[in-house]
Amino acid sequence: MSDEEAQGADATPGVIAEAQAWLAQDPDGQTRAELRELIAAAESGDVAAIADLTDRFDGRLAFGTAGLRGELGAGSNRMNRVLVAQAAAGLAAYVLDHASTETDDDAPLVVIGYDGRRNSDVFARDSAELFAGAGLRAVLLPRLLPTPVLAFAVRHLGAAAGVMVTASHNPPNDNGYKVYLGGSDGGSQIVSPADAEIASHIQRVADQGDVTTLPRSLAFSVAPESVVDAYVAATAAVAPAPEGAEGLRWVYTAMHGVGGETFSRVLDEAGYPAPTPVSAQIAPDGAFPTVAFPNPEEPGAMDLAFETARESDAEIIIAHDPDADRLAVAIPDSESAQGWRRLTGNQIGLLLGWRAAQLVAARGDADSASLACSLVSSPGLAAVASHYGLHFHATLTGFKWISRAPNLAFGFEEALGYLVNPETVRDKDGISAAVAMLGLVTEARGRGQTVADLLTEFDETFGAFASDQISLRVDDVSTIGRIMASLRAQPPTAIGEVAVDRIDDLLDGADGLPPGDVLRVWLEDGSRLIVRPSGTEPKLKLYLDVRGDSADLAQERIAALSAGARALLEQHG
């Protein structure tokens, strides 16, 4: 027997006991069968089963500012009905603890939404029953709907909290549990210290060891269709179709997600022509059969959209991720092998930020309004804000921070997230962003301009900004911590041939930002490199930004910076 097998054998009785205790409280027949099979195999000495069982019970999915997100399956380190029951009971306790300060109602309201992923509807109904059983007023959205509808409903219904069951654009076998707070939080996602307080309540429930004893009730309600109607009306009002929009030829994909139905209703109300759909991807399907990874940013994810656009002679492609909180845009490109290219999140964000700044300036609100983006997003938004006399805020990554920027008129992050209507939705919203983009496109079209023309005009007005991103996906998340520690212990003095001017380590906070595991490297030529772990995936991310006097110069500089950053990563990896 090898040392590894001997260690596994020593640990087997403990992990089997944990698994059996979990099995006794699991209400899901599928995960019970899965766990019984693993326990039997582990008891017979199957090394692979022991390793699998150990992985499932070696800790638990952490509840943080992104809520819960992970692979479906039995065990404390997976997404399942036991874990969701613990989370719902813990959140209920938190809401009740804060009820006296967050709401005047005797019974605080919690609203629950869910998307089309596997078990999303089950997790949502479990949560509704547990919230009602805890004495809260629980409202379940009427059917599977986009995440922005849930974020809207928290504010619209005056809820103390909201839960969205979704894993957004994660792999098909993942699911998640995203939490929003009402009251003074205004419908934004949770931030510290709320995340730690909720996590503490969840741990207390878990330590009690049996979710079957948690009180449940069927006395929850289903939200009326008027909630969805109100979201549709508010979103259509973001950019009603200008005259001449009826001739626009465009393609839309929902990426097998839940955005199609709601987006179609918004388009009808706003007056835009119907798109040519990517028919194989328009209906919700949690298996995501036509994409390896249901994220518009991933290579190949938009290939069917490109094919449809070529066949229909489209002018633009609009894509949502599976829960429709992100927006991707592609435009014709004769130099691309496919004839199309997807715009970067920064390019979309800068165009939408420019649009927002013009609207604010036209209203005469520039002195009070602000633009905001995450610190890893393009510094071009700061140039837009300065040009129009608006305030600007750089925040930590995530819309939980962007949405809290004071007097926000528009916010974005480079990962295809945009907040264009902060009066109604305090989170990224791919549907309202798509409407804003269609408004921008059709207005430009009326002037004889394309999106490519708008990008050129932006460069001429504000300077040519170029960005790039490098992602290192790892199997062992400890690799990320090791690389970050190495960079801190041996900070670079140059990236490629450009000397480093200074490095900001945000572990202790900087520029008024909360602490974060982020390194921001400034180079002597004004370029910027930011290194941080992903908050939702096992990735280390590097963000590169440059500014040039021309688009060509900016592209030369970003290529050189990218090569230097890859060499740095190899050195410390």
Confidence of residue 3 (pLDDT cuts 50, 70, 90): very low
pLDDT at 5 over 50: no
Percentage above 70 pLDDT, the chain: 97
> Do 173 and 161 reside in the same domain of the chain?
yes
Q: Is the pLDDT of residue 7 over 50?
A: no
Token pair recorded at residue 247: 């001739």
Cα 90 from Cα 174, distance rounded (Å): 21
For the question of residue 168 being annotated catalytic, the response is yes
Cα-based torsion angle of the residue sequence 497, 500, 506, 508 in order, rounded to the nearest 10 degrees: 140
Report if residue 288 sits inside a domain.
yes
Last residue of a domain, one of 188, 223, 258: 223
537's CB contacts (< 8 A; 6+ apart) are 170, 473
Domain that holds residue 499: 464-572
CB atoms within 10 A of CB 503: 16
* 332 assigned to some structural domain: no
- 551 within domain boundaries: yes
Residues linked to residue 124 through DSSP beta bridges, in sequence order: none
Torsion of CA 220, 221, 227, 229, to 10 degrees: 140
Contact 302, 253 (CB under 8 A): yes
Whole-Å CA distances, 452 to 430, 448, 456, 458, 514: 21, 12, 6, 10, 37
Res 105 pLDDT > 60: no
DSSP labels for 196-256? HHHHHHHHHHHHH--GGGS---S--EEPPHHHHHHHHHHHHTTSPPPTTGGG--EEEE-TT
Which pLDDT score, from 0 to 100, does residue 382 have? 97
What tens digit of pLDDT does each residue of 388-416 get? 999 999 998 899 999 999 999 999 999 99
Using CA atoms, how far apart are residues 93 and 198, in angstroms rounded to an integer? 8
Question: Strands (DSSP E) along 246-315, which ranges?
Answer: 250-253, 276-277
pLDDT-derived band at 11 (thresholds 50, 70, 90) equals low
Q: Could you say which of 76, 120, 168, 432 is catalytic?
A: 168
Task: For tokens 């393009």, name the residue.
Answer: 378
Per-residue tokens: 239: 């950019």
Among 327, 362, 382, the domain boundary falls at 327
> What's the whole-number mean pLDDT along residues 46-63?
94
> Is 1 a residue whose pLDDT tops 50?
no
| Residues 111/194, Cβ–Cβ less than 8 Å | no
84 assigned to some structural domain: yes
Which DSSP helix (H) or strand (E) runs through 312? Answer: helix 303-312
pLDDT at 377 over 90: yes
pLDDT tier at 109 (50, 70, 90 boundaries)? very high
Residues 431 and 485 in one domain: no
Segment 429-436 shows an average pLDDT of 98
Are 93 and 219 found together in one domain? yes
How far from 551 is each of 78, 377, 460, 465, 564, CA to CA, in Å? Answer: 46, 18, 9, 7, 20
* CATH, residue 118: 3.40.120.10
Q: Are residues 70 and 50 located together in one domain of the fold?
A: no
In a domain, 313, yes or no: no
Say if residue 102 is in the same domain as residue 217.
Answer: yes
pLDDT at position 4, please?
Answer: 44
194 membership: H or E segment, kind and range:
helix 194-208
Residue 9 in any domain: the answer is yes
- Listed as own residue / partner, the contacts of 223-229 with beta carbons closer than 8 Å and 24 or more positions apart are 223/111, 223/139, 223/140, 223/141, 223/142, 223/153, 223/157, 224/142, 225/142, 227/141, 227/142, 227/149, 227/152, 227/153, 227/156, 227/157, 228/141, 228/142, 228/145, 228/149, 228/262
Give the containing element (helix H, strand E) for 76.
none
Number of folded domains that form the chain: 5
Same structural domain, 177 and 104: yes
Residue 336 lies in a domain: no
Q: Is 526 found in the same domain as 413?
A: no
In this structure, are 71 and 217 located in the same domain?
yes
Same domain as 517, residue 385: no
Mean pLDDT of 308-337: 97
Q: Does residue 379 sit in helix, strand or coil?
A: coil
Are both 440 and 485 inside the same structural domain?
A: no
Q: Average the pLDDT over 118-127 and give the result.
A: 98
pTM given for the model: 0.93
The CA-CA-CA angle for residues 72, 73, 77, to 5°, reads: 90
Residue 41 and residue 71 in one domain: no
- Of the three residues 176, 193, 223, the one that is the final residue of a domain is 223
Residue 281's pLDDT is 98
- At 252, is the pLDDT very low, low, confident or very high (cuts 50, 70, 90)? very high
Residue 337: inside a domain, yes or no? no
Do 77 and 175 reside in the same domain of the chain?
Answer: yes
Q: Calculate the average pLDDT of the chain.
A: 94
| Whole-angstrom distance, CA of residue 168 vs CA of residue 327 | 12
